């Protein structure tokens, strides 16, 4: 049995923590009141493309300080909060981290592992890339709507034992979570960042699906420029990619990546509809900031960021 802290019990956190608890592991959930009350009173219900599961009520709290001392020892902490809350989350978890505790970022965007490692050290920090759509339909109830690839878990440092990562992946797989260990985490993280920067904010601004964006030349031109700027920036920083250039990525993007998720609406659109902050800071805004560090202009990404920030102001005011 592995002892997990699931910090950020939203859609993804409820899914992962629920399956781990259902497999017999000790899981403590921390999240928003309305969801943790459901997890604590009714348990967790999972449906969709990963299968149907019913997990009995679990330990769930609004904050770290609410966890009883008897439940405060953890082997692994899964961080599932929005990217803008990563720093606050890892500082909240810091008193619970022992020498052998592993912290796993299960988040969107660039920079989450770096923020975590700055607090707990790289030897305790792992990252996981998910391309799975999950909806939290009511307290304690999630639906897996789309699954494009196995979760990839890995480390940014070459000397971290791959065998340890493989052991974590096996435990997850045994719980019904499709996961593979990788020694190319940076490439997988950036592959998803590229995908999200092209589709997520533009789809949120226009209120359309990924398929709509790819179908029309007007929006394709904008996405093409977003990709070109992103590749110029990452190349200047020496960031490794699976593709040699923007043109190669663009071909894979339109032919292989968009079709399976063509009917999907952006998560950023849902954030705006629910009057919540978006993750633009770890996506297009990260591209802009990295560009400034190397003197590379990113006008299309700059414009996208400004428009999303304006929409955020409107919905949050």
Catalytic residues: 192
Encode 31-41: b = buried (16+ Cβ within 10 Å), e = exposed.
Answer: beeebbebbbe
Q: CB atoms < 10 A from the CB of 83, how many?
A: 23
Q: Classify residue 15 by burial, with Cβ atoms within 10 Å: 0-12, 13-18, 19+.
A: buried
Q: Would you say the C-alpha torsion 62, 64, 69, 74 has a positive or negative sign?
A: positive
Q: CB atoms < 10 A from the CB of 129, how many?
A: 23
Q: Would you say the C-alpha torsion 17, 20, 21, 25 has a positive or negative sign?
A: negative
Q: Token digits for 20? A: 């781990």
| Alpha-carbon Rg for the chain in angstroms | 19
* Longest Cα–Cα distance in the chain: 58
Pairwise CA distance, residues 226 & 230, whole Å: 6
Residue-by-residue DSSP string for 26-49: EEEEE--HHHHHHHHHT-EEEEET
Between the alpha carbon of residue 233 and those of residues 42, 245, 284, the distances in Å are: 48, 12, 11
Pairwise CA distance, residues 24 & 45, whole Å: 16
């Amino acid at each position: 049995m592995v002892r997990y802290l699931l910090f950020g019990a939203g859609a993804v956190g409820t899914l992962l923590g629920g399956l781990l608890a259902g497999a017999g592991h000790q899981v403590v959930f921390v999240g928003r009141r309305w969801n943790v009350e459901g997890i604590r009173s009714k348990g967790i219900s999972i449906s969709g493309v990963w299968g149907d599961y019913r997990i009995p009520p679990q330990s769930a709290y609004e904050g770290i300080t609410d966890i009883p001392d008897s439940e405060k020892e953890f082997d692994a902490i899964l961080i599932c909060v929005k990217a803008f809350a990563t720093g606050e989350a890892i500082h909240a978890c810091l008193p619970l981290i022992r020498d052998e505790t592993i912290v796993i970022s299960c988040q969107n965007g660039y920079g989450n592992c770096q923020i975590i490692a700055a607090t707990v050290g790289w030897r305790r920090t792992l990252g996981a890339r998910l391309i799975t759509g999950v909806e939290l339909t009511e307290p304690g109830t999630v639906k897996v709507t789309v699954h494009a690839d196995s979760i990839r878990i890995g480390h940014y440092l070459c000397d971290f034992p791959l065998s340890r990562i493989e052991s974590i992946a096996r435990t997850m797989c045994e719980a019904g979570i499709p996961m593979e260990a990788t020694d190319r985490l940076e490439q997988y993280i950036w592959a998803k960042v590229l995908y999200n920067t092209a589709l997520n904010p533009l789809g949120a601004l226009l209120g359309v699906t990924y398929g709509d964006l790819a179908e029309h030349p007007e929006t394709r031109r904008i996405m093409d420029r977003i990709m070109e700027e992103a590749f110029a920036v990452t190349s200047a920083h020496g960031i490794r990619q699976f593709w040699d250039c923007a043109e190669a990525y663009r071909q894979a993007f339109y032919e292989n990546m968009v079709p399976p998720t063509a009917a999907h609406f952006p998560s950023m659109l849902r954030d705006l509809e629910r009057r919540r902050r978006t993750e633009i800071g770890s996506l297009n805004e990260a591209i802009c900031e990295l560009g400034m560090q190397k003197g590379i202009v990113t006008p299309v990404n700059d414009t996208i960021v400004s428009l999303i920030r304006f929409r955020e102001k409107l919905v949050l005011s």
